[in-house]
Structure 1
């Protein structure tokens, strides 16, 4: 698995624990051992903003929000994301290997449901911040399935069946 260029996204949320954990010396070292040379962090509305520059030998770039992260996702060889449905689907639709980190601090956490279902389907792996380091060390994405391409005809056919038109 090529981890040369890793992209981390927390969407528009506050998920400082993920950003702090992924930029810890241990996680940076684990990524570096797997070939990571660039780590791009989209930190959302959190209060923790890592400095851009070299961190333990890995080039780190951090930003809060952009109109679109599609270019960052396209450049990435590997994506680490919070479990927001939009962020997960955007990475999966681009065919990126994905590790989802569930924010266990959220009340009524739908993120675990999204992550569990997509993992059961074979599209991603998921973990929590307290298990991120061992997950990075032993992660194998070679068995992940490619997410199916969007096909509007299937959507239309499903609506037609639901409405009784076919």
Structure 2
């Protein structure tokens, strides 16, 4: 489950770091400025005596899921301030899966001027049948693309898919839902240091924290992604992440633990029966030899 944003050099409190390996937001932005200073007039990074193919800019993918809308999140990522924050960290593309609010989001984007977008290309759609492709575009890979980030609602399916791929993740709880499960999940993931807990009204701060984690975890230089084998072996189906998510649902966690105990008891009983049969067989063989 370790994938860079998941605690490799990350800060346990999610918002600050200390020690010789820590990198401030100011340093992160300075590194980005230095890279810009190395660009030639045609936008290609130059190195002395070392030809280098320029990598694409960072990508931010926002997803609200396929069921409930999340207008507050869509409204915040379609502002000039958010675009400026992305541009300062080297992002060039913002992709947004809007769910039922695609038309409203497109209308807000249409009202942004070119100056408001700060060079960010904004693309949107309602739904997608290939979520993983968009998530993979946010995963850094050495010599291919720098790490971006996924900003997701607190749906466990999406969160699990992003963490499985290894892309930096910001989880934003939808406050309009009937319960606080998304908030509990976001807080739990940040406590575990596997994701950033983003909050409506301060997503720029979450982008800053992701930038620090990208540098600390060297997420711009990950190896190629290798999808897991399918079907997943039975022994690997209940993962640490599954149990971590279940801590937000005490009744379901208790049920799963009870099922696991029953399975273990059944396995122990079967093993005892097998051992008893082996002992009985050995005794019968001994008696036969005496006869």
Alignment match, 2:197: 126
Aligned residues: 162
Q: Are residues 108 and 57 of structure 1, via their aligned partners in 2, closer, same or farther at CA, if it must alter by over 3 Å?
A: same
Task: Please tell me whether residue 9 in structure 1 is matched to residue 81 in structure 2.
Answer: no
State the TM-score, normalized to the length of structure 1. 0.83
User: Does the CA-based 8 Å contact 2:65-2:97 persist in structure 1?
Assistant: yes
State the TM-score, normalized to the length of structure 2. 0.49
Q: Which is further off, 86-95 or 116-125?
A: 116-125
User: Does the CA-based 8 Å contact 2:152-2:170 persist in structure 1?
Assistant: yes
SS at match of 1:141: helix
Alignment match, 1:153: 235
User: Does the CA-based 8 Å contact 1:82-1:103 persist in structure 2?
Assistant: yes
Q: For 2:209 and 2:260, how far apart are their aligned partners in 1?
A: 45
SS at match of 1:87: helix
Task: Please tell me whether residue 141 in structure 1 is matched to residue 213 in structure 2.
Answer: yes
Deviation at 1:151, TM superposition (A): 6.1
The C-alpha deviation readout for 1:19-73, integer Å capped at 9, x for no partner, is 1101210011001100000111111112522258963310111000012211111
Q: For 1:123 and 1:152, how far apart are their aligned partners in 2?
A: 25
The C-alpha deviation readout for 1:54-100, integer Å capped at 9, x for no partner, is 63310111000012211111112311111111111111111111011
Deviation at 1:160, TM superposition (A): 5.9
Q: For 2:131 and 2:237, how far apart are their aligned partners in 1?
A: 26
Aligned partner (choices 3, 21, 38) of residue 76 of structure 2: 21
User: Does the CA-based 8 Å contact 1:20-1:48 persist in structure 2?
Assistant: no
- Gaps of at least 5 residues in structure 1 are none
Over the residues paired in the alignment, what is the CA RMSD in angstroms? 2.9
Higher strand share: 1
Deviation at 1:132, TM superposition (A): 1.4
SS at match of 2:129: coil
Q: For 1:32 and 1:162, how far apart are their aligned partners in 2?
A: 54
Q: For 2:172 and 2:192, how far apart are their aligned partners in 1?
A: 17
Q: Are residues 49 and 113 of structure 1, via their aligned partners in 2, closer, same or farther at CA, if it must alter by over 3 Å?
A: same
- Gaps of at least 5 residues in structure 2 are 1-27, 33-56, 139-147, 220-227, 239-256, 269-291
Deviation at 1:101, TM superposition (A): 1.2
SS at match of 1:104: coil
Deviation at 1:153, TM superposition (A): 1.4
